[in-house]
Structure 1
Amino acid sequence: MWTAHLVRRHRQQRPDALAVVAGERALSWRELDARTDALASALLDRGVRRGERIVVSSPNRAEVLELYLAAGKAGVIVCPVNHTFPAPEVAHVIGNVEPIGVFAEQAVLDRLGDAFGTGWRVALGSPAYEAMASGPARLLALPRQDDVYAILHTSATTGLAKGVTVTHRSISACYTGMAAELGLGPHDVMVNPCPLFHGSMVIGLAVLAAGGTLVLEREFAPQRFLADVAAHRATRAFLVPAMVRFALRTRAFETTDLSSLTDVMFGGAPMPDEVLHEALERFPCPLRSIYGITEGGGPIATMLFEPAHLNGGADGADELRLRSAGRMLPGCHIEIHDRAGHRVPPGEIGELCVRGDGRMVGYWRNEAATAEVVRDGWLHTGDVAYADPDGFLYLVDRLGDVLIRGGQNVYPAEVERVLAAQPGVRDVAVVGAPSAEWGEVPVAFVAATEPDPQAAPLLTACVAELASYKRPVRIVFVPEIPRSTAGKVLRRVLRAQLAGGQTAPRTGLPADRPTAPPTDFPADPAPLADPAPPAGSVPPADRPATDPPGTDQPGPGQPRTSQSRTDQAARTDQAPADQPPAAPSRPTTDQPNTDRSGPDHPQSDHPQSDHPRADEPPADQPQPGRPATDQPAAGQPAAPSTDGAPTGGAAPHTNGAGGADVPPAAPAKGV
């Protein structure tokens, strides 16, 4: 279904029904079709030819959606640009797509100025824009399905943003599949405060494709969101997890009539356990996770969470499903592949790969980057995951974020989940720091809610819930965790700060599965915490002279391998010059177990049982000694960044120690 087709169809079927509401503006299907016809004609009259680009940069407003639809009618390629980007990032995007013209709010045009290039500019809502939207219109031929519809830029957590090229076929496959899965119809009204400049635009188009009403909020404000749900009798809402948390904390939540809601969708970030539980208890409807990636066309999987899941079920399956990213959407095929590109059995960790009509054509004018992530028709997402026998997906981490400590895979999201659940932690991110002894060691950056944070409770929580090799060697308190404009953690910035301003190269390749467990380990001392640095500064990653030897060694009973990242040889531990790193002492094999990670020393309050826990693989999970099949081979490129959003929030749940390849189940990650 072309975007042009969906507007014309609903104008014929329900001309006076509301299509779009934005603040005081409300457009019927008749008005939306007429204005987008006029805009499409005006673009061609300005000399914009089919296949040329226009940029749209603005907070949510009706004109943004009008331009998306008008570009589809005219065969012009629309390039949404985040209006909060700084000038250098905007200049990079402009240089990449070379637009004929720019549509933006006047304030955005004033702020970014020359960064928008030399093409013409039109301010949204200005007389010039209204003249285009109310001028003469002519009926235009539909573009071809395989013509490029949009270029969506990634959130650039690993460098400069890349342009994701999607066709009319791919965008329509995504929003029609989404509409079918959700059962959307003309009766639906969705409140959307999430920005329309990346893959989340697909969810709004899905509502329109079904003939529903899209209520756009310029930006998120908890009280206004609740008021809009009540005023418009909204049946759906799309939020990021932070917005869900803010809504629950608003005093008006208890007094606002939310009874019209049939589900609240969330995406763009992992949902913290406690927020999901509270939301299921207090919202009058189920919650639905949306997991997606811009390169995949937007949403690719979804999961409906209902209050009944809180009971855990007789076998604990419901509680485990609370950590699932869901199952694949119609028309989007998902498999978990090993390093050789073969599908792995349920329960085995590998890379989540996607194919289908919704997948991007490639990166705009970047064939090399496209070849790195699209191979044999499969999009390699860079998400480490596993699937259960019923097709439910469980995200573990990002390939490029996995660090290897003494040959063991450490998933930052798993550590972040433990720390984020502790009182006084507002935000957290874990990255790998170079270590001469173990290759890499995890360092946790924590933004606290109190002015005088204490590390001891955080370290105690890590000891209780994580195997020794997964525990951070340092806690660094910082004023804020650096994030992109889409809210994703800028780990490269943290790594650069740890390396003294130089970003360490990363292959993003987890270690092989071990062939045999070790027989002896050094003792497992407590890690240290750093005091909060001055604002804007981050201490180096070297361990203090007082750091006991063996802090970053795997604990007893934890498997390890000899393989590490290919770039580790170039890294050096930054210990003080007068204090060389101490060599780890090796105890004899009859020394007592200090890791507390075996069955005699449970690391959590959860009683042992026969049903699987979120941090345990299914029964057919491969054991040490089986060939490694969980990740792409060394030397393969890092995969694309998932978009979908801000990625701050809790990470996967784990109840105790686990080896390098035990799949921790993560909360759903969104578009």
Structure 2
Amino acid sequence: MNVYAMFADAMRRCADAVAIRHGERRLSYRELDAMAAAAGALFASHGCLPGDRILLFLRNGFEYPALLLGAMRAGFVVVPVNAKLHPREVAWIAGDCAPKVVVTHREHVVPLREGLDAATQCRMLAVEDLGLADSPLSKPVEAEPDDPAWIFYTSGTTGRPKGATLTHRNLVAAAVNCLADIFDFRSDDRVLHVAPLSHGSGLYLLPSLARGAANIISDRPSFQPDEVLDMVAAEGITAFAFVAPTMIVRLLDAAPRDDLRSLRGVIYGGATIHLEHIKAAVARFGPIFHQLYGQGEAPMTISCLPARDHVGADDQALLSAGYVRAGVEVKLVDGEDREVGPDEDGEICVRGDVVMKGYWGNPKATASALRGGWLHTGDIGHFDGGGRLRVLDRRHDTIISGGTNIYPKEVEDVIASHPGVREVIAFGLPDPEWGESVAVAVVAEDPELNEAALLSFCKANLASFKKPKRVIFVSELPKNAYGKVLRRALKDQYTSAR
């Protein structure tokens, strides 16, 4: 089954309803289907055959959904990359996946072409020059469930990005499970996409289009909270397709308003959110937040904490990543891949139809990640007393001090609850006595906040061995193109400085 078949019912039932809107431009479901077919025909005219890759290096925009869906409709494999990446980084991805066609903006054509090595032969198309005219409306190409459909490149925070290969089966399972467990999109929804369509927001096009919702695409290069909430009020936005926790923190900075009654769903994930931030968001905006936990290798997702569990919940619930999704299995293992006991921490391992086929062109990494038939996520977690999955941290981020494991998120959650702290990240630094000690980088809300006050706060709220030995005040935390804080960059920077 080609994942595009998921939209057949919406194409019939909502043919004249708005499917995509970007600024003043809009596409009905009928027009979106025609434009996607035209995109597939365009790629085929440049020599693409089923299984060939189409790389999209684009900002959010009007043509993006049709190009994304059109590639899969025609049996090609779409490779969306974040528009904030440097052309050199994109050239490396292109060299890895060998696309037949690259679609980008005019200003990137020459830098990309110059960055590609001689072995990478591809057609470079500027999106401004495409002119996707109507073409004969052929049926979507038949696809086997395990045929690749989307290559999702990881953010590469610890090295070169790897291409998680998602099949038609993976995408169908992820979309169906989203509708079952995370958010039940409806045909009267107006879904705002403020995050890159190359990432989570693009994945959420699938379930929202399957239900006939209108998708409003924002192309703002940065997240402007007041502007976004003005759009919610003016346009009756009912859902944010996907936002990162840093965006929720920014929403708390927006001016108070009482005209957001249309908003019924905010799907967030991609990184952990601190307890005080989500509490403040629920108190201000109401029971509209749906948390997901997953990764590019198992998109949309592994577990979910629904909106109803954000209200009147104890801290244990809000600190969790919710309940394991329908059609997903999770087990926790130790360093020898032995399943741990019910009250122990272990690496989160996943299997089910949402788990990737493997890493593109990287059998060694695939064998390591999928050993024993389970995706080894690299995240450490446990199940709490309510049966919810709690993600403690990345395995490689664990701080080992005096032989004891300290999870950065435990430290961060305490410090983030201080009223003078805006953002915080914890990491380990070499320590001649303990092996490693805890350091924190802090963005202060209160300019008067100092190290002594913060350490005193930690002494009152945190086990002694988990207290930071070093507090570093910074104006902002380094983040990658997806909004994730670069913990490793801070660790490397201050390790080198020492």
Q: Distance in 1 between matches of 2:262 and 2:368?
A: 46
Give the 3 Å change call, closer, same or farther, for CA 308–245 of structure 1 in structure 2.
closer
Aligned residue identity for 1:267: G
Counterpart residue number, 1:243: 247
1:604-633 CA-partner distances (Å, limit 9, x unpaired):
xxxxxxxxxxxxxxxxxxxxxxxxxxxxxx
Show CA shifts across 1:329-350 (max 9, x none).
2222222233343444433211
Indicate the residue corresponding to 2:124 in structure 1.
121
Q: Distance in 1 between matches of 2:249 and 2:447?
A: 22
Distance in 2 separating the partners of 1:200 and 1:98: 25
- How far is 1:110 from its partner? 5.9
CA contact (8 A) 1:191 1:228 kept: no
CA RMSD of aligned residues (A): 2.3
1:68-110 superposed Cα distances (whole Å, 9 cap, x missing partner): 1111111111111111112332221111011112112234446
Question: Are the equivalent residues in 2 in contact too, given 1:185–1:210 (CA < 8 A)?
Answer: yes
Segments of structure 2 that go 5 or more residues without pairing to the other structure are: none
- C-alpha change, 1:322 and 1:427, in structure 2 (3 Å) is closer
**Pair 222,108 (structure 1): closer, same or farther in 2 beyond 3 Å:** farther
2:51 partner SS: coil
- Residues 1:333 and 2:333 are matched in the alignment: no
Name 2:213's counterpart in structure 1: 212
Query: Secondary structure in 2 aligned to 1:297?
Result: strand
Counterpart residue number, 2:257: 254
* Deviations, residues 418-446 of structure 1 (Å, cap 9, x unaligned): 22233443332222222232211122222
Contact residue 36 and residue 133 of structure 1 kept, 8 A: no
Match of 2:274 in 1: 272
Partner of residue 195, structure 2: 194
Q: Which residue pairs with 2:173 in the alignment?
A: 173
Paired position in structure 1 for 2:25: 25
Task: Identify the structure with the greater strand proportion.
Answer: 2
CA gap 1:136/1:122 in 2 versus in 1, 3 angstroms: farther
Deviation, 1:111, is 5.9
SS at match of 1:62: coil
- What residue is the counterpart of 2:405 in the other structure? 409
Q: How far apart, CA to CA, are the structure 2 residues paired with 1:305 and 1:105?
A: 38
Whether contact under 8 Å (2:276, 2:416) holds in the other structure is no
**1:55 has 2:55 as partner:** yes
The counterpart of 1:441, out of the listed 437, 450, 453, is: 437
Q: Aligned with 2:12: secondary structure?
A: helix
Q: 8 Å contact 1:202–1:299 — kept in the other structure?
A: no
Q: Offset of 1:178 from its aligned partner?
A: 0.5
Q: 2:289 aligns with which of 287, 290, 293?
A: 287
Which stretches of structure 1, 4 residues or longer, exceed 6 Å deviation after superposition? Answer: none
Greater RCO (Cα-Cα under 8 Å, separation 6 or more): 1
| 8 Å Cα contact 2:193-2:201 kept in structure 1 | no
TM-score by length of 2: 0.92
Is 1:483 the counterpart of 2:479? The answer is yes
In 2, distance between residues paired with 1:133 and 1:345? 59
SS across alignment from 2:130: helix
**Within-5 A mapping of 1:371-386:** 371-386=367-382
Residues 195 and 201, structure 1, Cα contact 8 Å, conserved in 2: yes
* Closer, same or farther: CA 246–437 of 1 in aligned 2, 3 Å: closer
Report the secondary structure of 1:360's partner residue.
coil
Provide the identity percentage: 37
Distance (Å, rounded) in 1 between the aligned partners of 2:45 and 2:306? 46
> What is the deviation of 1:147?
0.9
How far apart in 1 are the matches of 2:473 and 2:251?
27
Do the aligned partners of residues 225 and 481 (structure 1) sit closer, same or farther apart at CA in structure 2, a change above 3 Å counting?
closer
CA deviation digits over 1:122-142, x for unaligned, max 9?
A: 222x2x311x34344433532
Is the CA contact (8 Å cut-off) linking 1:22 and 1:217 kept in structure 2? yes
> 1:58–1:108: 8 Å Cα contact kept in structure 2?
no
CA drift at 1:200:
4.0
Do the aligned partners of 2:274 and 2:412 also contact (CA within 8 Å) in 1?
no
1:350 and 2:353 are equivalent in the alignment: no
Counterpart code for 1:356: G
Q: 1:386 Cα deviation (Å)?
A: 0.8
Q: How far apart, in 1, do the equivalents of 2:33 and 2:11 lie?
A: 7
Distance 1:225-1:2 versus aligned 2 partners, 3 A rule: farther
- Structure 1 residue identity aligned to 2:192: V
Q: How far apart, in 1, do the equivalents of 2:247 and 2:476 lie?
A: 18
Residues 328 and 200 of structure 1: is their aligned pair in 2 closer, same or farther, counting only changes over 3 Å?
A: farther
Q: Is the 8 A contact 1:402 1:410 kept in 2?
A: yes
Secondary structure at 1:54's aligned position in 2? strand
Distance in 2, Cα, partners of 1:144 & 1:12: 24
In structure 2, the CA distance between the partners of 1:133 and 1:330, relative to structure 1 (3 Å rule), is farther
Task: Give the AA of the match of 2:166.
Answer: V
Relative to structure 1, the CA distance from residue 172 to residue 292 in structure 2 (aligned partners, 3 Å threshold; closer, same or farther) is same
Give yes or no for contact 2:246–2:483 (8 Å, CA) kept in 1: no
Distance verdict in 2 for CA 1:356–1:337, change over 3 Å: same
Q: Kindly indicate whether residue 328 of structure 2 is the aligned counterpart of residue 324 of structure 1.
A: no
Paired letter, 1:18:
V
- 2:395 alignment counterpart: 399
Partner deviation per Cα, 1:569-610 (whole Å, 9 max, x = no partner): xxxxxxxxxxxxxxxxxxxxxxxxxxxxxxxxxxxxxxxxxx
State yes or no: 1:40 paired with 2:40.
yes
Bigger Cα displacement from structure 2, 469-478 vs 409-418: 469-478
Whole-angstrom CA distance in 2 between matches of 1:308 and 1:113: 48
Amino acid at match of 1:486: Y
**Structure ranking higher in helix proportion:** 2
Amino acid at match of 2:416: A
How many residues align structurally? Answer: 491
**Which is worse superposed, 396-405 or 39-48?**
39-48
Distance in 2 between the 1:247 and 1:466 partners?
29
After TM superposition, give the deviation of residue 275 of structure 1 in Å.
2.4
CA deviation string 1:202-232 (max 9, x = no partner): 2221111222222221133223322332343
Q: Which has the larger radius of gyration?
A: 1
One-letter code aligned to 2:171: I
| Residue matched to 2:494 | 498
User: Which residue of structure 2 lines up, in the alignment, with residue 532 of structure 1?
Assistant: none
What TM-score results when the alignment is normalised by the length of structure 1?
0.69
Deviation at 1:363, TM superposition (A): 0.8
Contact 2:18/2:26 (CA < 8 Å) preserved in 1?
yes
Specify the code of the residue in structure 2 equivalent to 1:217: S
